Amino acid sequence: MDYEKKVEEQINQYANNALRFFPPAAHKFWMRNFMFPKMKHVFGVPDYFDMYLSALPSSERSISILSIGSGDGQLELELAKRLIARGYNDFKIYVTELSEIRQRRTGERVEREGLEDKFEFHIVDLNRSFIPGSFDLIFAHHVLHHIVELEFLFDRISEALAPKGVFATIDIIGRNGHMRWPEALKYAELAWEFIPDHWKHNFQFNAFHEKYLNFDCSKSGFEGIRAQDILPLLIEKFDFSRFVAGGGFIDVIFDRGYGQSIDMDNSRDRALVEFLSCTNELLLETGRVKPTMLFAHMIKKTSAPKEPMIWGRMSPEFALRPVESPP
């Protein structure tokens, strides 16, 4: 791997208008109806902003928050606004980002809101360095699947957590490059036999795919570079307090590549999205496919960890798909 070349590719990939990365309506439907209810049950909150904020201690003292890979800063800014609205005035959000372009966008947004005193900015390559400090909350929102040196990063996060600190994340944990494992690929290919042709146009490739393309996204930049290693390393290095997992074979069908072709105002398209989502849930619950997405709160490793709050039987260990396992 030419590391410096991949760094350049990663920065260039996100240098332009970030609006093109917004998920389509089919993906939002699946998240709203099949992921968020699980999250609400386990974390007791209605959305992912509050999933992160719910990890904070109930305290009047100063609160220190570290964002791992902040991107354009929309999430961090919303968290700051919600904290202020809830009476948290003494807090600081430390923002880390690889790209100076995206960091500059974050700074501009923060300045427009007049919240400069609530933020501190750091340009950091998290594969190679970290910022000093002790943090009540460290969060990584769809960032870990871009990291090569996961062991290094998780060790630094564990060291930087305050005694009662929480590491929170929402991320992708499927096969590297966001490919489907063989058992999940089987169901994606079966779906391809009966989904309508207008679903088969891939907007990222601007091409019609007669057969499902099990594409390796890690060929450019760091997209999904070690996604399959995230969950086993988290199990090794942290204790989970709350855990939800989902996805499987359908998230790539509903996501940005193919999902923009799905018309959720069309009753047939909508019914098919729901059918595939329900089928995927059954496959997850019976262990026939493994999850590709997690929502988690974690703490430092302890000698006597408590059982985490989970949805159904989907514990971190049940969600794990060992790389060497046969389909």
* Domains of the chain by residue range: 1-14+42-177+219-247+290-304, 180-214+249-288
What per-residue confidence (pLDDT) applies to 219? 87
Q: What CATH number belongs to 1-14+42-177+219-247+290-304? A: 3.40.50.150
Interatomic CA distance for residues 98 and 85, integer angstroms: 30
pLDDT at 5: 85
Q: What is the pLDDT of residue 321?
A: 95
Residue at 206: amino acid letter: N
Burial (Cβ within 10 Å: 0-12, 13-18, ≥19) of residue 15: exposed
Q: What's the rounded Cα separation, in Å, for the pair 67 and 76?
A: 8
- Maximum CA extent, the chain: 58
pLDDT < 50 regions, the chain: 18-19
Secondary element (H or E) of residue 234: helix 227-237
| pLDDT at position 214 | 96
